[in-house]
Structure formats: C-alpha cells, structure tokens
Amino acid sequence: MSASSSDAEAPAHACCPTCKAVFRGAYKRCPQDGALLLETDDDPLVGSVLAERYQIEEVLGDGGLGRVYKARHVRMSRRFAIKVPFGEVGYDRKARARLANEAEAASRLDHPNVIGVVDVGESAAGLFYMAMDLADGPPLAELIDAGPIAIADVLTIFVQLADGLTHAHERGLVHRDLKPDNIVISTRGDGTIQARVIDFGLALVSEDDQPKTRLTTEGMVVGTPCYMAPEQATGEAIDFRTDLFALGIILYELLAGRLPFDGTPNEVARQNLAAPLPPIAERAGHAVDPLYEAVVTWLTRKRKDERPSTTREILTLARHMAAQDRGAAMTALPPWARPTRARGPEPTRPADDTPGELAPRPPRPVPDGPGAIVEVDARSAGGQVHVPTEQVARRQRRLGLIVALLVLALLALVLVVLRPWAGGDGATVASVPIDAATPPAIDAAAPEVDAAVALAVPPIDAGATIAAPPPRPMVDAGVGSAARPKPPVDAGATPPRPPPIDAAPAGPVDDGAGLSLKALYARAATELDQAMSRVGTDATATLRARFDAVPPYADAVRKPDLRAQAESQLRSLLRDLAKLK
C-alpha cells in the first residue's frame, strides 16, 4: 500500500496521549480512557511499536475513516501498511464491529491487482488496526497529474482494475471509495506496469455476506464526491455497480487528463447526481475514440440498473479493447450504448502512444478509372462509395420523368376542383378538352418507369373532357322551409384558433408532496436530467443552479431546519420542471 507524499502532510488532529488514538471533530476527551485530548502536529503512533509487532515508521496519508502508516515487522524484514481508524470510528461499538467483520472479509482477497488485509487486531490500549501489504510505487493520481498517459497504458490499467474488482465483487466485497489515490502503479521487472487497488480493508460487505443484524451505520455516506455514484450521494443502498460508476469516472480522467466536472466537492457530487457528463474530447482538448466514450457512458449511467449487470462483463469488454478486437468490443456493449460511428478522428497523443490504439476499420476499396464520382455513405465513418457516372445519369432522367407526370396529375386535379365554382350557381359546366402539356424529351436509352410509379400516376387522355359536377348540396332548413344553398364561406373571416396541442392539462401540479426526503432528491435529479436531455442545457441552466443550491442530503437528513429548506426548494423545483413538459 502506498500514498502520495502530499497526503503525508496531514493537518493537526486531537490525539489521546494514553491510547495514541487520533480524533477528528469537536472531541475533548477520549471515549476509551477519558484522557484529555491534545492538539499536536506530531502523530503519537510514529516511533512506537503497535501490538508488540509493528514498528510505526511514518504517516503515509489519511483516508475517509482512518490514517495509514508505514510499518516494519519487528521480527521480519518485511514492511506493511497499517490502517488505524480514527478514534471516533474505532471506539464506536457498532462501527468497530462492522470494521472487524469487513476486514475479515477483505482478508479473503488474493489477487495480483488487489491488496487485501493480512492481519487484524488491537493494541493493549484497545486501538483497532488492520495490516496490509505495502505496495511500492506512486498512486495513479500522481501519474494523471504528471501529463497524458499512453493509450496502451490506459487500456492496461483499465483491464487490471476490472480484473481486481471482478475478483472482489464475486467474493461479496464492494470498495465504495475507488479513486486514483487508492490505486498504486508499480513497475515489474520486465518493465510492464501493474495496477493494484488498495484500501479494501474498509470495504462494504454485500447483503448476502452480512450477518442477520446489519452493522452499517444508518445514514453514513462514505466515498469521495468526485467519484461518488448518485445512489451513494443520496444515502441509498449501494452495491458493486457503485464501484463501476467510479471506474467509469477514473477511465474518463485517464483519457481526458481531468475530471468531468469542476467545482467544490459538494458541487461535483450534485453534478454527478443530475448533470450529463460532457464529452471526453471537450475536456481533453483532442479527439477521443467513440468506443472509449461509449464505455464511459455505460459505466456512469445515473440509474445503477442501467449500468453493467456484472463486473465480469466489463472485464470481458476491457480485454477485447486491449487485444484491439474492435468487433468483439462493440458486441460486448449494449445496443443502445454502441457508438453511431465506427471511429472518430485520430486522437492527438504522444508519439509513443500509437502502438496502444485500436486498429481502425480497413478502408473500402476505391475503384480506378475516369468518370467516377463520389457520394458519401452515411453508414460508414468517413467511408466513400464510388458510383459510375452513367448510373447517376439514368437516375436523373427517371426522376425528371416522374416529376413531369406528377405535375400533370396535379394540374388536372386543380382544374377538376376549381371548374364548378367558375361556372356560377347551378350553371352547367361545359366540357372543355384538356390541353396536356408536352412532357420533356426523354432519352430513348433511359429505362422504363417503374411499375409502382405507373400505377400511382394514371395516363391522361389529352382529348378527354371533364363531366359537369353535380349541383352543390342544399341545406335543409327544417320542416316547412324551402331548401336553400349553403352560405358561402367568408374568405376574410378569421377562423377560431384551436387550443394548443401541448397545452398543459388543468389541475394541480405534482410537486412531490408526500414523498420522503430521499425520494424528493432522486425525483428532482431524474426530472432535471430528463429536462436537460429534452430542451438542452442552456434552457435548464437556472434550474440546475437551483438544484445545486439545495442543501446536501447528508446534511438535510440530520438537521430539521435544513430538511425543511431542502423539501421546500425541491418541491418548488419540481413545479417549475413540470412546466417544461
């Protein structure tokens, strides 16, 4: 296990001088021994021996629930990463039981791309700890910050992460805080890279592997906002698909060199909840293969039931991509996620990046010879179809003939309709021969008109006459009244305007009254996402800003005043969203 050097510069915390636990927040005394906590920049564990076996050498970094140390075993020349939960977590009875249960489950992991727990215990003073293998190498976050990563390396990392997650998920473990800081990149002896997921010691055991009394803390939200799935941000039940969302954001960041959204952690979490991800090329500044875009889109769907149904599906897809088997990779995607074009413009990447790209589809053969003109085939990505000149000329002549026949038919129809009105009321219309217009000259070499066209446009006899139409219908005014002609329609009168088709039905607008707070957040996010897809991001910019201003769910669920404010803002937003439908 490893951590970035910047993480080691941890801010001052309150420490217990007796048990050496580190606390965050407004704690005055240690709940374990009642000692008065001291604020210091120095960690009391550094330099000490934990549980009579681990010599603590330095702080590697802080995680969401605990601090990580580099340690050496006192009886072996082997180093470990020791994770010690913060005091407010490690001394909470319910949380401690959960951590012990999950750490035991993490000890079952045995995979080259996952670092599992090798030892669990507690010190003489009651300090809980977990020991993990120490991985040499920088975290993936440092490599991303250093500059563009070759496509070949991106695919290698993607395959290895998918492989390690598949191993963990099939054993009932969900990481729930997957991010580049929790991925260590090592270099093997042969020069190849190895990605290893760390911090599975604080993973979540899936429902099937939990004891009958579930030990997770109610309302507890664990994760990093930039990589947090929508269901995780709202405190809903999570599973392996939550890790897949984070994997999609990591792949996006590897390809673009930056995250999809900018802003504070809360702003980014809200955008992950409702806003569509911007195209990777827009954030990267260069073209990106549509296949990669499609994979990211599938992994980061807002609804978890629209993401892959198993992690092994993603592993299979990643292996096809790494093997440059584009056809198999496209088949592994769901039909709706497959890109409409086979390949976009060539990505602008460093020179050493070329071998790692997927091979493009072979170009279609181009016929040689003079007189060939080009028509674009929309079914291919930049492909060209060459059609001989003679075939195009025949098509043009046939089209001219069809247009001429349609004009004649339209002229005859107009004369039939208008002639009764030209003869006066009740007058007999004289039979007038139709002077058929002479059709344009047709090349004798042109093909015959299709049978379907001949049936649609009947031949017109130039010497035929049009029979007089029957008298106009009379309006029966009732018993004892003489029949009278139907009154003419006033051409200048303005007809009544019909009601708009899209007029909203009358009645109260459903603003989510009666829904739970969690359901209100989810519904507002879903309807805002639908509105952005329907009318565009510009038309919904104000509504998105209002949604971002709603207090976070984790705060609203604990504070009554924020809860009332959030409910009022969400219901008002739902009423305005209903007006866009």
Q: Provide the pLDDT confidence category of residue 199 given band limits of 50, 70 and 90.
A: confident
User: 303 CB contacts (<8 Å, ≥6 apart)?
Assistant: 230
Q: What percent of the chain has pLDDT over 90?
A: 33
Q: Provide the pLDDT confidence category of residue 394 given band limits of 50, 70 and 90.
A: low
Give 221-259 pLDDT, tens digit per residue.
456 889 999 998 888 889 999 999 999 999 999 999 999
d(CA 195, CA 135): 10
Name the β-bridge partners of 80: 71, 133
Q: Provide the pLDDT confidence category of residue 516 given band limits of 50, 70 and 90.
A: confident
Residue 476 confidence (pLDDT)? 45
φ, ψ of residue 493 in degrees (nearest 5): -70, 145
162 phi-psi bin (left φ>0, alpha ψ -120 to 50, beta other): alpha
> How distant is the alpha carbon of residue 268 from its chain centre?
14
Strand order of the β-sheet with 79-85 is 49-50, 54-62, 66-73, 79-85, 128-133, 117-122
Q: Residue 250 in contact with residue 161, Cβ under 8 Å? A: yes
Is the pLDDT score of 133 beyond 80?
yes
Residue 502 confidence (pLDDT)? 44
The secondary structure of residue 36, as a DSSP letter, is B
Residue 384 confidence (pLDDT)? 35
Residue 248 confidence (pLDDT)? 97
Q: Provide the pLDDT confidence category of residue 507 given band limits of 50, 70 and 90.
A: low
Q: Provide the pLDDT confidence category of residue 12 given band limits of 50, 70 and 90.
A: low
User: How long, in residues, is the chain?
Assistant: 581
383 phi-psi bin (left φ>0, alpha ψ -120 to 50, beta other): beta
3-state helix, strand, coil in the chain (%, to 5): 40, 15, 45
d(CA 182, CA 3): 8
Q: Which H helix or E strand runs over 472?
A: none
In this predicted structure, which of 38-47, 132-141, 187-196, 519-528 has the lowest mean pLDDT? 519-528
Q: Residue 197 in contact with residue 175, Cβ under 8 Å? A: yes
Give 296-324 pLDDT, tens digit per residue.
999 999 999 999 999 999 999 999 999 99
Is the pLDDT score of 285 beyond 50?
yes
d(CA 444, CA 448): 9
Q: Residue 381 in contact with residue 289, Cβ under 8 Å? A: no
* Range with top average pLDDT, 7-21, 80-94, 144-158, 413-427: 144-158
Is the pLDDT score of 289 beyond 70?
yes
Residue 509 confidence (pLDDT)? 64
Q: Which 3 state secondary structure label does DSSP give 149?
A: coil
Q: Residue 71 in contact with residue 55, Cβ under 8 Å? A: yes
**Tokens at 130, concatenated:** 């977990």
* Range with top average pLDDT, 70-84, 202-216, 384-398, 441-455: 70-84
Q: Provide the pLDDT confidence category of residue 125 given band limits of 50, 70 and 90.
A: confident
C-alpha to C-alpha distances, 388 to 315, 383, 395, 443, nearest whole angstrom? 47, 17, 11, 18
Q: Residue 198 in contact with residue 161, Cβ under 8 Å? A: no
Is the pLDDT score of 344 beyond 80?
no
More confident residue, 179 or 471: 179
User: 355 CB contacts (<8 Å, ≥6 apart)?
Assistant: 152
**In 230-372, where does DSSP find H-type helix?**
230-233, 240-256, 265-274, 280-284, 290-299, 311-322, 326-332
- Active-site residue list: 177
In this predicted structure, which of 132-136, 286-290, 420-424, 477-481 has the lowest mean pLDDT? 477-481
| Pairing label, strands 79-85, 117-122 | unpaired
pTM of the model: 0.57
